[in-house]
Every structure is written in C-alpha cells, then in structure tokens.
Amino acid sequence: MTQIQKNDISRLLHQLSGLKISEFIKLLTEEFPGQVTFSSSFSYEDQVITHEILNNQLPVKIFTLDTGRMFAETYSVWSSTNAKYGTNIKAYYPNAEALQEFIEAKGPNSFYESVENRKSCCGIRKVEPLKRALAGNAIWITGLRAEHSADRHDLPMLEWDESNKIIKYHPILHWTTEEVKKYINDNSVPYNPLHDKGFVSIGCAPCTRAIKPGEDFRAGRWWWEDADKKECGLHVHEG
C-alpha cells in the first residue's frame, strides 16, 4: 500500500465517524465518482446494503457473481430485488473455457475430493470474475460482518485489499444478526428464504448447508473441510 492509499484510508476513517451508512456512501461516490461498486450475494447483509444504496438513489454499481451453481432461492431474491427497486443488478460469470477445461479434467463435483480442487473451482467461478468486476474501481463495498468469522473480529471498517488493489468498506461489520433481521423486516426488504431454514452464509448449492444449533456461523460452508481452510479467496485479509 502506498502512502497515498494509507492517507486515503486514514482520512476516510476520520470522515466515517458519526455518518449514517447512506451518508458515507454518498461521500465516497462524490470523492470517487463512477468508481464505487458493491458486490451482492443476496444474503441478509447484502440486502441491507442494497436497500441503503437503491432507496437513497446512490450512484453505486451493484453486481453479483453468478457461479452457475446457486440456489433457486437466490435467483428468486435476485429477481424480486430487481423488481422492488426498479434496477438491474449486473452479473459476472465464470470464464466458459476455463470452467469447461476444469470440469472435463476433474469432474463436476471434484471440489468434494480435495481442498485444492475446491479452491480451483472457487477461483474459476468467483475469484477471477470478481477481479473483472472490481477492475477500474476505487471502492469496494461489502456485506462482511464480524460475527461470521473469527478472522473478521479485528477488521477495520475500511481496509486496503492488496490482491485487488482497492479500498474495501464494510458498512455493517459490527451489526448483530438481530439488527440485520430487524432492518430487513422494518424496511420490507426482499431476502433469501433459506435464511429462515438455518442457512447463514449462502453460497453455491453443493457447498452450503444449514447450520445446527450451537454450530459456528461458517459451519455451513464447505462442511467437509477443516475449519481453518474455509475461505474461497474473495476476501483475503493481510496479516
């Protein structure tokens, strides 16, 4: 990270204090016009931020990563979100040639066989499309919450993402699950019905299950792997 980037983050963190989410996003769009983007997986968290952006008519580009193996319920909430806000959330897709070569070589469900295969699948379906989606932007807004992973407890609300050369903003990082649910209900925001069935973190259908009472938030993702390997590469935190 350059000195300019460090100064940007320090200054923005200072400006963030005391502002509502929509007010700070508006400030970001004024400072970085046309260079603020938000990635949505249509989770509870992302729907909160989508409402903040679209209800306040903020000029933020919203995109999703369509891996090709999403739940039917995810596509439904995508459609209902477009309909409610009169928008058209852009999708980025895996490179067809890379995906075809991977499946022909490894098989359609090879991600169950090894961590290496699973990370390769995530790389093709999510990480590479994300890089395309973020290219040319200065600010990446995310729906990360500290409750979802121990690695996120000490995250700042603004950080530098070295992998994608972009400033990340996590507006609801410190919200509780109860606060998220209340916001969704109070504002009649469309949400994924899988959340009502015990699904916390919703990704690709073959790699996501509901969690059981007392289980960690991340237990429903890649449940066949060791807990310390459960990241897909979208959010890499520098030590």
Residue 232 among the catalytic residues: yes
Range list of β-strands (E), 98-239: 139-141, 158-161, 166-169
Judge whether residue 8 has pLDDT over 90. no
- Domains along the chain with CATH numbers: 3-194 (3.40.50.620)
Answering whether pTM is above 0.85, one says yes
Alpha helices in the chain (DSSP H): 3-16, 21-31, 44-55, 72-85, 96-106, 115-122, 128-134, 177-186
Q: Which of 121, 122, 204, 232 is catalytic?
A: 232
pLDDT digit string, tens, across residues 115-172: 999 999 999 999 999 999 999 999 999 999 998 776 667 789 999 999 999 999 999 9
Instruction: Report the C-alpha gap between 66 and 197 in whole angstroms.
Output: 22
> Residue type at 128?
E
Element (DSSP H or E) covering residue 36? strand 36-39
pLDDT digit string, tens, across residues 18-59: 899 999 999 999 999 999 999 999 999 999 999 999 999 999
Sorted by sequence, the CB contacts under 8 Å of residue 11 that are 6+ apart come out as none
Tokens read off for 102: 């991977």
